[in-house]
């Protein structure tokens, strides 16, 4: 059963799949990783974005990636609003939102699920585009275009976000707010505005990530539940708030999953990737590229 050719294939596909995981996790890496918001509704926002993309694609024939770009401003505003709501209910009242924050976002996630079901029904949906359903041949190897698109988008997003966070004033302010809110306040900046802005960006990124989600595989309204584990796994394994770390961690997971799926007992694949996460957490609780020691 084992062959190096298959292993190579699995690694390549795994890297691409990992990039996809990174793309859907980057937003969470900001909202949870940098802002400490326990955003368990992140995957629900993601699925919502996928349905928005589906709607544009189905009714107006808009290319899914373009549709993803088109909805980012809306999602940015949505993010600003969501953070405001979260801030008013939790952070303003006291420091410890913790478990109540989780419950709050679970509630939001359920509400989004039901709204999607009411609008679109329970059947799965997918999009059409030229790059869905074709593959790129390299010798014996075939690489689905869908995954290549995921790779390119994930790489672009990671680079853009890393640059944004390190080079621009606002980006640095976001990182500062993650480290020491009080210091920033003393310097005369309003940490709440900065966090709101950051949450907006984290949500805007979901517009494109949602497009990828529905390009890579069909979506259905309760898909978010599978992705809670996966996205948090990536972000925590990376170490909170590191964009490039998120990419690397996602790729590690993608490769591990695909190699097990392809070469060993397929049914053990989920156990392997989450066992890796546990291992990483046990050895390096701050994650692979953690900002805290």
Shortest distance (Å) from residue 226 CB to other proteins: 5
Nearer to other proteins, 196 or 231 (CB): 231
Shortest distance (Å) from residue 7 CB to other proteins: 10
Nearer to other proteins, 193 or 225 (CB): 225
Shortest distance (Å) from residue 15 CB to other proteins: 11
Shortest distance (Å) from residue 10 CB to other proteins: 5
Nearer to other proteins, 73 or 107 (CB): 107
Q: How far apart are CA 193 and CA 82, in angstroms?
A: 13
Nearer to other proteins, 176 or 220 (CB): 220
19: CB partners within 8 A, 6+ apart: 147, 150, 151, 153, 154, 155, 247, 250, 251, 254
Nearer to other proteins, 128 or 190 (CB): 128
Shortest distance (Å) from residue 64 CB to other proteins: 13
Nearer to other proteins, 172 or 292 (CB): 292
Shortest distance (Å) from residue 192 CB to other proteins: 18
Nearer to other proteins, 89 or 166 (CB): 89
Nearer to other proteins, 71 or 216 (CB): 216
Phi, psi dihedral angles at 99 (to 5 degrees): -70, -30
193: CB partners within 8 A, 6+ apart: none
Shortest distance (Å) from residue 172 CB to other proteins: 25
Shortest distance (Å) from residue 283 CB to other proteins: 8
């Amino acid at each position: 059963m084992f062959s190096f050719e298959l292993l190579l294939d699995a690694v390549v596909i795994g890297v691409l799949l990992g990039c996809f995981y990174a793309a859907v996790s980057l937003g969470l890496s900001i909202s949870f990783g940098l802002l400490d918001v326990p955003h368990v509704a992140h995957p629900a926002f993601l699925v919502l974005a996928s349905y928005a993309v589906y709607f544009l694609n189905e009714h107006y024939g808009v290319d899914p990636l373009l549709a993803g770009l088109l909805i980012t401003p809306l999602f940015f505003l949505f993010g600003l609003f969501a953070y405001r709501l979260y801030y008013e209910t939790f952070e303003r009242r006291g420091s410890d939102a913790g478990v109540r924050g989780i419950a709050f976002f679970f509630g939001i996630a359920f509400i989004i699920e039901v709204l999607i079901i009411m609008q679109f029904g329970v059947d799965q949906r997918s999009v059409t585009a030229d790059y869905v359903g074709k593959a790129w041949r390299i010798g014996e190897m075939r690489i689905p275009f869908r995954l290549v698109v995921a790779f390119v988008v994930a790489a672009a997003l990671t680079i853009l976000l890393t640059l944004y966070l390190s080079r621009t004033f606002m980006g640095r302010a976001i990182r500062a707010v993650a480290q020491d809110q009080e210091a920033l306040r003393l310097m005369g900046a309003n940490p709440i505005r900065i966090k709101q802005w950051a949450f907006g960006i984290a949500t805007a990124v979901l517009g494109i990530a949602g497009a990828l989600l529905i390009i890579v595989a069909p979506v259905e309204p309760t898909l978010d539940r599978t992705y809670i584990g996966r996205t948090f796994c990536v972000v925590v394994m990376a170490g909170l708030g590191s964009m490039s770390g998120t990419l690397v961690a996602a790729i590690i997971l993608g490769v591990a999953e695909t190699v097990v799926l392809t070469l060993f007992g397929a049914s053990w694949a989920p156990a392997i990737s989450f066992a890796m996460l546990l291992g990483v957490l046990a050895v390096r609780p701050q994650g692979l590229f953690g900002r805290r020691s």
